[in-house]
């Protein structure tokens, strides 16, 4: 679930889907992933934060910044799904 949200965040930042080509007036491209560990009720889980290059402004994942100090939110979300 977290991985999908990170992908959606990158898609929104770039203004296009993962494999969609950029238009002439668009900047930025994907350049791999950076591992990011999140604490969950089941232990540490590694997710991969997309790395973006050649953008007008630096890409800062709001989700990864939020989860860095608030991993207990994942336990609450998991409980809501059951």
Give the Cα separation of 72 and 69 in Å (integer).
9
Element (H, E) at 39: strand 29-40
**pLDDT digits (tens), the chain, 82 positions:** 889 999 999 999 998 988 778 888 788 889 999 998 888 778 888 999 999 999 989 998 898 888 876 655 555 444 444 4
Q: What is the pLDDT of residue 73?
A: 54
**Which residue do the tokens 């997710």 mark?**
47
Q: What is the pLDDT of residue 82?
A: 43
- How far is residue 47 CA from its own chain's centroid? 9
pTM of the model: 0.73
34-37, Cβ contacts within 8 angstroms, sequence gap of 24 or more: 36/64
pLDDT of 28-42, one tens digit each?
Answer: 889 999 998 888 778
């Amino acid at each position: 679930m977290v991985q999908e949200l990170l992908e959606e965040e990158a898609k929104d930042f770039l203004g296009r889907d993962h494999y969609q080509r950029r238009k002439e007036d668009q900047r930025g491209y994907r350049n791999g992933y950076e591992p990011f560990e999140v604490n969950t009720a089941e232990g540490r889980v590694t997710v991969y934060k997309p790395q973006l290059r050649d953008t007008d402004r630096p890409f800062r994942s709001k989700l990864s910044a939020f989860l860095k100090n608030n991993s207990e939110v994942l336990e609450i979300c998991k409980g809501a799904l059951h």
